[in-house]
Structure 1
């Protein structure tokens, strides 16, 4: 396959056929008038092709404000394809084509990019994740089961030493993974260098004493040159996981980190609601996660089951599975990443999170689910490990727990959420 396919959910006042034609023209050879230079030969070589149009409904009012109006607003799925020669294998140009000016077309009163099908050549052209799940376990010196993790809280306001003191209590509790919050990067109140130095003293001391390497995802998100300097600092101190806010850094920024990095790349999707929250405009996670994986993220946030945000459980499950699915359906490297569950997670979500994937290659981040355990953080971590062990053995946690153990205490502490899968 030498073409890229994209499917859009659109609404239009000018009819689906006309809207699809405008969309395809705008994003390839066409403009608002036919140009002399737009020859038949050029169109045959470079024009986008409308592959299919499927009507799905109509409305009497537009979903979004639009200058063009009509008696009805027709809804449908439109699949368009482009020759690979238009943009090669450039991620930024691909995104400019599939999600560029078409979002502003007056002929569209709704548009959402819902699917993207890439050829194997696109997968081969990008390095993808450098380490993935297997490499993540290797950085830890070997590890069985899901990674039990947490987030530095409060998100902002701690000094570098405050952060290190909190990390000391977390590694003592037996945690596998700790990450900065997306809000904490390199502000003057908690500079990156000072924070990294203080935290890595704790991490390295703990490894020397116990033989266990806890992963610390240091938020390096910044200008590209500064991110590279942050990575160099990490390498000097033995830090092995760099967190990047993928939307903030952009495709080129993430790829520059991948090309410069000897560390794992922990992809945080801060700002994801801008793309996803409206059914009438945006980009699906199925599309964006492929771009982020091609750029090189080893871990990627997917929200959590029974979370505190707006996504339902089916959407979260679909996102988690997508991250472990080959980036192209047509061959080439799979470029799979490690999904990261977070947001209001407790012992109740581990089993369904594992069942969604059918494996243990995920990170399970809990904040209150660890820190609010009635017997303290160490018992909180242990309760999650017991829940993971029960899930591996296919035993409900109610039957696996013993009276008074950390798991039974957590069951009494945290209400069982309603999970719909």
Structure 2
């Protein structure tokens, strides 16, 4: 069947779906447009031409793709047809409510029969969304202002072991790290407020160390405490506890708390909100199912993420380098304005060795937080030497100097190359 395309309106919400089916991709594109707007499985007496003109979704783009021989979801057949369809949802029918958008245009489509694969690969929001949600409070510029770092990446690390350290033991690690000149430290995303290391006890042990270093040197290290909670009121209580002690950042497990709880926090927050996307892989790891990051990240940016973790070059996880690079560039693009860009957080098995390739592949930019866990904490000379090694690696990368050459005059980098450089990175976050 031929697909009849119409022109989108400037106020339309455009969602692009990659469709896979043993049948007709055109028929399934039409079914998405109908079922996810005004229609259902049977003709409706109230679905008049006037109502459809106002509220019905319409196909505005359609492109056949190469067929494949292995289905994304189990199905009988020898060939599975693929196409990419862009469907326009009228703003009048959806509004600027992200709950409505995710229900209508994103969430409901996977329940439709006939697909062996369906992936959402594009989202273009109209200007009517601009200003409806708070967006980042700090973002790139605010994160740089809070850390006092402008001409290089913000260098960060994670408290390791992730679980098990008491508040006092954690404070001892922090003391070593802040003395090294690190810019940013975070709780591991798995650490929130367990009995052996409650958030309150941890904040009271760590913040005096941060304040003492600030008093001594003028540099205030940004420490992101894990305050995620399913109860928004409890999360605000935790937020306020961090603020009272002089903290300026928090780690938020965004998929665990949900969009509503995050928005509740953002509207009341005075902390830089560092988003950990654990659980995201459930939504994206299969290439024929789920979401592209380019779609997912727009929702959280509107809600107000300040810093967004996106893996890194030669990451310890499954994500290929090309996917990381695309995610980095997605975050660098404004949705509506430069201020809605969060700070990309390069992470997952990073140490200084990936600095040159990260610099090259991201377009020779230093606008990011370079976050190393085991790559700092497991340095042979200790965490302080680990920080110095990463700083040296980035100095070399930006200056165009080979790391091995630079290591001749930077012993911490030489030690890191000896430990991490001869094997696949598996330590750190």
Give me the TM-score of the superposition, normalised by structure 2: 0.91
Partner of 1:302: 310
Deviates more, 1:387-396 or 1:235-244: 387-396
Is residue 123–residue 333 contact of structure 1 (8 Å, CA) maintained in 2?
no
Deviates more, 1:333-342 or 1:293-302: 333-342
| Distance of 1:45 and 1:11 partners within structure 2 | 29
Partner of 1:352: 357
Partner of 1:258: 266
Is residue 228–residue 235 contact of structure 2 (8 Å, CA) maintained in 1?
yes
| Distance of 2:135 and 2:364 partners within structure 1 | 23
Whether 2:380 is the aligned partner of 1:374: answer: yes
1:52–1:246 CA distance, 2 compared to 1 (3 A): same
Is residue 254–residue 295 contact of structure 1 (8 Å, CA) maintained in 2?
yes
Q: Which residue of 202, 206, 209 maps to 2:209?
A: 202
Matches within 5 A, 1:265-344: 265-328=273-336, 332=337, 335-344=340-349
Q: Which residue of 15, 24, 27 maps to 1:6?
A: 15
Partner of 1:134: 141
Is residue 392–residue 410 contact of structure 2 (8 Å, CA) maintained in 1?
no
Deviates more, 1:267-276 or 1:355-364: 355-364
**SS of corresponding position for 2:195:** coil
Query: Per-residue displacement from partner, 1:291-313 (whole Å, max 9, x unpaired)?
Result: 11111011000101101111110
Whether 2:397 is the aligned partner of 1:391: answer: yes
Deviation at 1:143, TM superposition (A): 4.6
Query: Per-residue displacement from partner, 1:340-397 (whole Å, max 9, x unpaired)?
Result: 1111111111122223143211111112221222222222111111111122222222
Q: Which residue of 226, 238, 248 maps to 1:230?
A: 238
Deviation at 1:337, TM superposition (A): 0.8
Partner of 2:7: none
| Distance of 1:416 and 1:43 partners within structure 2 | 62
C-alpha root-mean-square deviation of aligned residues, in Å?
2.0
Is residue 159–residue 185 contact of structure 2 (8 Å, CA) maintained in 1?
yes
Give me the TM-score of the superposition, normalised by structure 1: 0.93
Whether 2:189 is the aligned partner of 1:187: answer: no
**SS of corresponding position for 1:412:** helix
Q: Show structure 2 runs of 5+ residues with no match.
A: 1-9
Query: Per-residue displacement from partner, 1:83-130 (whole Å, max 9, x unpaired)?
Result: 112222122221112222211211211111111111222133222111
Partner of 2:5: none
Is residue 253–residue 275 contact of structure 2 (8 Å, CA) maintained in 1?
yes
| Distance of 1:249 and 1:162 partners within structure 2 | 28
Partner of 2:4: none
| Distance of 2:70 and 2:112 partners within structure 1 | 17
Query: Per-residue displacement from partner, 1:140-184 (whole Å, max 9, x unpaired)?
Result: 245541111111111122222222222222212221111111111
Is residue 14–residue 70 contact of structure 1 (8 Å, CA) maintained in 2?
no
Deviation at 1:326, TM superposition (A): 1.0
Whether 2:129 is the aligned partner of 1:113: answer: no
Q: Show structure 1 runs of 5+ residues with no match.
A: none
1:357–1:245 CA distance, 2 compared to 1 (3 A): farther
